[in-house]
Amino acid sequence: MESIKDKVAIVGMGCTSFGELWDKDADDLVVEATHDALKDAGVEIKDIQAAWLGTMERFTGATLSSPLQLQYIPVTRVENACATGYDALRNAAFAVAAKVYDLVLVVGLEKLKDHGFGGLPISLAADKWHPVYGSQATAPGRYAMAATRYFHRYGLSREEGKRMLAMISVKSHYNGARNPRAHLRREITVEEAMKAPIVAWPLGLYDCCGVTDGAAAAILCRTEDAKAFRKDYVTIKGIEIIVGPGQGKIRPDYDWTHWEETERAAQVVYKQAGIKNPRKEVDLVECHDCFSIAELIAVESMGLCPKGKAKEDIESGAWTQNGEIPVNLSGGLKSFGHPIGASGCREIFEIYKQIQGKAENPSRQLKNVRLGLAHNQGGHPGKFMCGVCVIGAP
Amino acid sequence: MDIGIVSFSGYVPVHRLPREVIGQAWGKQVRSGEKAIANWDEDSLTMAVQASLDALKGFQRQSVGALYFASLSPPYLEKQSASIIAKVLDLDPSAFTVDIANSARGGTLALRMAMDALKAGSAENILIASGDCRIPPPNSEMELNFGDGGAALLLGKKDVAVKINDCVSLTSEFMDVWRRDLDRYPQTWEDRFVIVEGYNVLLPKAISGLLKKVNAQPKDYRKVAVYGPDSRSLGALLRRMGFDPQTQFQTSLFDSVGTTGAAFSMMLLAQALEGAAPGDRILLAGYGDGADAFDLTVTEQIQKLAQGKKLGQYLRSKMTLSSYGRYLRFRNLMEWEAERRAPDKSSLTVLHRESSQILSLKGHQCKKCRTIQYPMQRICTQCQSQDQFEEILLSDRKGRIFTYSMDERAMVPDLPNILTIVDLEGGGRFYSVMTDRDPEKVAIDMPVELTFRKMHEGSGINNYFWKVRPVQG
């Protein structure tokens, strides 16, 4: 087996605005994200040799090739719950690294707001459908069980726990407010977050990410060819998906306070990328914060913060823009939004722009960004499919 | 040969609707008292299951040769409920199952038939399970009287705790309360007629027929468990017959639970038997389309029966419904704004294929590493051995909450929907929902027990499964 490190480069990226895009359908999102990426790479659609589409709700490669009028090329539709974006990117990267194709397109897409109600359709629950077992569970209901257990395990009172989670959302909203493409661009306070209506105790309205439409796209080639497209290309240092055996609801030793799949995916990717001390070496982290507790446990599980110490770390400001590990500088799923298939690519878009010094809204630009870590996980506690990716300056 | 009751139980659902709250809804003065209201996830079948599980504690399920389910409100009009209950209870597939529907006297009809079957040797043990969840017409006298509940009697020939000595049955076409399949609510005729010409004539006829047959006087009976449509009519009838309502009868169930249809005479019996002593003589009577009267004697075995005391526990555990609107929600009596989310759906093929897991709540124990797991697996979650499992019954276990959440946006009639991960005693972890609960009191490590409920009605099917509830008593 060989490492993927530095074999594949990203030479163009695009991203639509994320939000409740009532006037756009899935085709519009595909066209806009793709053409932004093509423009960024300085290539035309006819130069694309193969494409990968990551999306949960739509099927077949035609979802990509029809709106784009792709002329008879291979198109694969990929799905792995919220890790869809990384799985699409990863498969495209392997094809390029294997030298089967030279220039490929990845699009992450989700159009959720035609359903007619707030919240996720339950069908996207990434669990085996069953008439009665787990039948009325929701995503916030399941994640909230991790929060309850985390509070209990680390001796946090209800108030302390909710305050800790609120600070995460406040930080993400502050970032999102300064991101022109984000879905939710309003700052919130800790008090607002703590007093917000409960969605699934202990998670309140501001602990849950929005339901959003959006798409993001990337154009990949082998690193040795990247210079021909641009000087400031970015390379993939490590990328992996880990799918666990998914028995967390059945095994009595599942502790509900760490994400095993995330832990293992991060370890694999750190090894690929040659990262020994992630907290020091990684300049920013985009991670899966569908719920505030998801971000908290992900950061701990990726070894960026000692287990059980998130509260102190958050209170010290370590996860803010000026802190040691800026987490979700884009606003995260929380405030940028979470069109499921698109989020993986969108996280990479943020890091890509930061490395190039082109962060949208200069107030969010970090200095000397060399390495960024991105994380997504689909499913729910006990049954995750997790994608982790590190990209960096060549 | 002694034939009689080997075990018994009465079940009262946890919610109570005070008559005062009903009175407020309709702007009228009402008498005091309250009635029991089945939870939104209960029906006559689930309540009969609960009573049956309580009665069967300590008894071999496989020894039950027949199951009779008595109810005025069975969940299906075509499709037997007793067969479902038999699967839930994990009875032998050879058990003979029958629904005894349509008569308020269903409980005692079942008792009479069970006696005959035992005498004929058709079975060694017979379980009578009853439950009723009737919906009375809004703003009616029935609404003040009807309550929801269940009861079970296990009958046999060995270790009999209450001997059934004799019985008398009368049939009559008389109509008290009736309901056709196109009637939303039960109907009745003028109260004076129904009591004076029906109840006051037929029931005393059966009781005096019994007294004559067994050569007994009213004073010979320590307790009477006699059906009445309300406490006043019953009290008057007993007094006229020479019984003393003060010492021989308790009317408390009328004002704490309500009249529970086919289950009522059995619940009255369960109440009479709690605190009964060896040698006590008991009169049991059911009424509706005639009447049945039974002469019973309590034996020494009564002292070994712990499960009978559960009726008292259920009477003591209660949560008051604070508004009439909550009752409407539980019984789904009003039209609601249509939900835009995808409706619940089901699959009969899945329900059937997994019926041992879903209805009987059987899990797997790995033969290699002894790990208990639910649902059943092909590959052990612990040691990854394939297909090395024994089936294990989990429905009678208690557990403790490992973690939980309270979902305010779930599509269920009573929010929050409390998801739970429960560690079962003896091993295994069960992912479920908590019912019959006060959200303020839910906590990690809280002791819980399993309870059989209706999850939803997707695809036009009653989808039953197991939840957990706080340990009763």
ipTM score of the complex?
0.92
Same domain, B235 and B353: no
Nearest chain A residue to B373, by CA: A250
> DSSP 3-state assignment of B393?
strand
Boundaries of domain holding A82: 8-110
Same domain, B276 and B405: no
User: What per-residue confidence (pLDDT) applies to B9?
Assistant: 95
Q: Which two tokens stand for residue B440?
A: 């303020």
Nearest chain B residue to A129, by CA: B346
User: What per-residue confidence (pLDDT) applies to B105?
Assistant: 96
B446 CB near a chain A CB, below 8 Å?
no
Kindly indicate the confidence band of residue A123, based on its pLDDT and cuts at 50, 70 and 90.
low
B chain contacts of residue A149, beta-carbon cutoff 8 Å? 402-403, 444
pLDDT at A143 over 70: yes
Same domain, B189 and B325: yes
B184 CB near a chain A CB, below 8 Å?
no
State residue B266 phi and psi, 5-degree precision: -70, -35
- Closest by CA position to A109, among listed A52, A48, A45: A52
Find out whether B314 and B10 touch, Cβ atoms under 8 Å: yes
Same domain, B86 and B174: yes
- Closest by CA position to A376, among listed A86, A20, A54: A86
Residues of A with catalytic roles: 82, 338
Mean pLDDT of A7-25: 96
| Residue A18 belongs to some domain of the structure | yes
Of the candidates A119, A121, A132, which has its C-beta nearest B463's C-beta? A132
| Residue A69 belongs to some domain of the structure | yes
Nearest chain B residue to A117, by CA: B340
The label of the residue with tokens 């797997």 reads B364
Mean pLDDT of A69-89: 95
From first CA to last CA, the distance across chain A in angstroms is 22
Same domain, B404 and B290: no
Picking from A132, A145, A153 by the largest number of B CB atoms within 10 A of its own CB, the best residue to mutate is A132
A151/A159 Cα distance (integer angstroms)? 10
Residues of A with CB under 8 A from a CB of B: 115-117, 119, 121-123, 130-138, 140-149, 152, 197-203, 245, 247, 249-252, 254, 256
Sheet holding B15-18, edge to edge: B34-37, B15-18, B319-320
Cis upstream peptide for A252 (omega within 30°): no
Residues in chain A: 394
Q: What is the pLDDT of residues A316-334, one digit of tens each?
A: 999 999 999 999 999 999 9
Of the candidates A117, A121, A249, which has its C-beta nearest B431's C-beta? A249
Picking from A133, A150, A247 by the largest number of B CB atoms within 10 A of its own CB, the best residue to mutate is A133
Same domain, B176 and B27: yes
The whole-angstrom distance between A386's CA and the closest CA on chain B is: 20
Parallel/antiparallel/unpaired status of strands B125-132 and B64-71: parallel
A298/A288 Cα distance (integer angstroms)? 7
What string of pLDDT tens digits covers the 473 residues of chain B? Answer: 789 999 999 999 999 999 999 999 999 999 999 999 999 999 999 999 999 999 999 899 999 999 999 999 999 999 999 999 999 999 999 999 999 999 999 999 999 999 999 999 999 999 999 999 999 999 999 999 999 999 999 999 999 999 999 999 999 999 999 999 999 999 999 999 999 999 999 999 999 999 999 999 999 999 999 999 999 999 999 999 999 988 999 889 999 999 999 999 999 999 999 889 999 999 999 999 999 999 999 999 998 886 566 899 999 999 999 999 999 999 999 887 766 677 889 999 999 999 999 999 999 999 999 999 999 999 999 999 999 999 999 999 999 999 999 999 888 999 999 999 999 999 999 999 999 999 999 999 999 999 999 999 999 999 999 999 999 75
Of the candidates A122, A143, A252, which has its C-beta nearest B429's C-beta? A252
User: What per-residue confidence (pLDDT) applies to B309?
Assistant: 67
B355/B155 Cα distance (integer angstroms)? 27
A chain contacts of residue B407, beta-carbon cutoff 8 Å? 137-138, 140-141, 144, 199-200
- Closest by CA position to A32, among listed A68, A74, A82: A68
| Residue A27 belongs to some domain of the structure | yes
A80/A241 Cα distance (integer angstroms)? 9
B409 and A149: CB-CB below 8 Å? no
Same domain, B327 and B367: no
Nearest chain B residue to A140, by CA: B407
- Closest by CA position to B321, among listed B37, B86, B110: B37
A382/A245 Cα distance (integer angstroms)? 9
Number of domains in chain A: 1
> DSSP 3-state assignment of B125?
strand
- Closest by CA position to A176, among listed A330, A388, A359: A330
Number of domains in chain B: 3
- CATH code, domain with B253: 3.40.47.10
B chain contacts of residue A123, beta-carbon cutoff 8 Å? 342
- CATH code, domain with A78: 3.40.47.10
Task: Fill in the amino acid letter for B202.
Answer: L
The label of the residue with tokens 């009752």 reads B327
Residues of B (393-422) whose Cβ lies below 8 Å from A: 402-412, 416-417, 419, 421
Same domain, B436 and B298: no
B429 CB near a chain A CB, below 8 Å?
yes
Percentage above 70 pLDDT, chain A = 98
- Closest by CA position to B52, among listed B135, B117, B110, B134: B110
| Residue B342 belongs to some domain of the structure | no
User: What per-residue confidence (pLDDT) applies to A210?
Assistant: 85
| Residue A171 belongs to some domain of the structure | no
- Closest by CA position to B49, among listed B18, B85, B9: B85
Q: How many CB atoms within 10 Å of residue A332?
A: 33
| Residue B344 belongs to some domain of the structure | no
B456 and A135: CB-CB below 8 Å? yes
Quote the DSSP letter at residue B450.
E
Query: What pTM was estimated for this model as a whole?
Result: 0.94
User: What per-residue confidence (pLDDT) applies to B115?
Assistant: 96
As beta bridge partners, residue B44 has none
- Closest by CA position to A376, among listed A173, A255, A178, A209: A209
B369 CB near a chain A CB, below 8 Å?
no
B chain contacts of residue A121, beta-carbon cutoff 8 Å? 341-342
Same domain, B243 and B379: no
B chain contacts of residue A114, beta-carbon cutoff 8 Å? none
Find out whether A337 and A316 touch, Cβ atoms under 8 Å: no
Find out whether B325 and B22 touch, Cβ atoms under 8 Å: no
User: What per-residue confidence (pLDDT) applies to A165?
Assistant: 98
pLDDT at A356 over 70: yes
| Residue B343 belongs to some domain of the structure | no
The label of the residue with tokens 């779930």 reads B410
As beta bridge partners, residue A8 has A222
Find out whether B14 and B39 touch, Cβ atoms under 8 Å: yes
Picking from B403, B433, B435, B462 by the largest number of A CB atoms within 10 A of its own CB, the best residue to mutate is B403
- Closest by CA position to B81, among listed B106, B58, B113, B111: B106
- Closest by CA position to A228, among listed A20, A43, A365, A3: A43
B444 and A132: CB-CB below 8 Å? no
Angle at B271 between CA B267 and CA B277, to 5 degrees: 135
Q: What is the pLDDT of residues A357-373, one digit of tens each?
A: 999 899 999 999 999 99
Task: Fill in the amino acid letter for A78.
Answer: V
A33/B354 Cα distance (integer angstroms)? 46
Of the candidates B342, B403, B431, which has its C-beta nearest A134's C-beta? B431
Find out whether A350 and A192 touch, Cβ atoms under 8 Å: no
User: What per-residue confidence (pLDDT) applies to A169?
Assistant: 97
User: What per-residue confidence (pLDDT) applies to B308?
Assistant: 61
| Residue B337 belongs to some domain of the structure | no
B224/B301 Cα distance (integer angstroms)? 20
User: What per-residue confidence (pLDDT) applies to A238?
Assistant: 97
- Three-state SS letters, chain A: CCCCCCCEEEEEEEECCCECCCCCCHHHHHHHHHHHHHHHHCCCHHHCCEEEEECCCCCCCHHHHHHHCCCCCCEEEECECECHHHHHHHHHHHHHHCCCCCEEEEEEEECCCCCCCCCCCHHHHCCCCCCCCCCCCCHHHHHHHHHHHHHHHCCCCHHHHHHHHHHHHHHHHHHHHCCCCCCCCCCCCHHHHHHCCEEEECEEHHHECCCCEEEEEEEEEEHHHHCCCCCCCEEEEEEEEEECCCCCCCCCCCCCCCCHHHHHHHHHHHHHHCCCCHHHHCCEEECCCCEHHHHHHHHHHCCCCCCCCHHHHHHCCCCCCCCCCCECCCCHHHHHCCCCCCHHHHHHHHHHHHHHCCCCCHHHCCCCCCEEEEEEEEEECCEEEEEEEEEECC
| Residue A82 belongs to some domain of the structure | yes
A chain contacts of residue B342, beta-carbon cutoff 8 Å? 121-123
CA B169, chain centre distance (Å):
24
Nearest chain A residue to B352, by CA: A131
B296/A153 Cα distance (integer angstroms)? 56
| Residue A173 belongs to some domain of the structure | no
User: What per-residue confidence (pLDDT) applies to B423?
Assistant: 98
User: What per-residue confidence (pLDDT) applies to A71?
Assistant: 96
Picking from B348, B358, B407 by the largest number of A CB atoms within 10 A of its own CB, the best residue to mutate is B407
- Closest by CA position to B153, among listed B315, B311, B312, B1: B311
Residue B298, CA distances (Å) to B1, B164, B272, B275 in order: 15, 9, 11, 11
Find out whether A8 and A223 touch, Cβ atoms under 8 Å: yes
Same domain, B10 and B141: yes
Kindly indicate the confidence band of residue A122, based on its pLDDT and cuts at 50, 70 and 90.
low
| Residue B59 belongs to some domain of the structure | yes
A121 and B341: CB-CB below 8 Å? yes
Q: What is the pLDDT of residues A215-274, one digit of tens each?
A: 999 999 999 999 999 999 999 999 999 999 999 999 999 999 999 999 999 999 999 999
Same domain, B250 and B265: yes
> DSSP 3-state assignment of B255?
helix
Angle at A260 between CA A257 and CA A261, to 5 degrees: 135
Residue ranges of the alpha helices (H) in B11-138?
A: 19-26, 44-56, 82-88, 106-120
Boundaries of domain holding B23: 4-331
Who's near B292: CB < 8 A, 6+ residues apart? Answer: B105, B108, B109, B111, B112, B167, B168, B169, B170, B206, B285, B286
Quote the DSSP letter at residue B259.
B
- CATH code, domain with B449: 2.40.50.840
User: What per-residue confidence (pLDDT) applies to B411?
Assistant: 86
Same domain, B216 and B134: yes
Q: How many CB atoms within 10 Å of residue A49?
A: 16
- Closest by CA position to B389, among listed B416, B417, B414, B370: B370
B195/B172 Cα distance (integer angstroms)? 14
Of the candidates A117, A149, A200, which has its C-beta nearest B403's C-beta? A149
Find out whether B433 and B467 touch, Cβ atoms under 8 Å: yes
Nearest chain A residue to B457, by CA: A131
For residues B302-319, one letter each, b for 16 or more C-beta atoms within 10 angstroms of the residue's C-beta and e for the rest, the string is: beebebbbbbbebbebbe
Residue A364, CA distances (Å) to A10, A210, A329 in order: 22, 21, 7
User: What per-residue confidence (pLDDT) applies to A236?
Assistant: 98
Q: How many CB atoms within 10 Å of residue A264?
A: 16
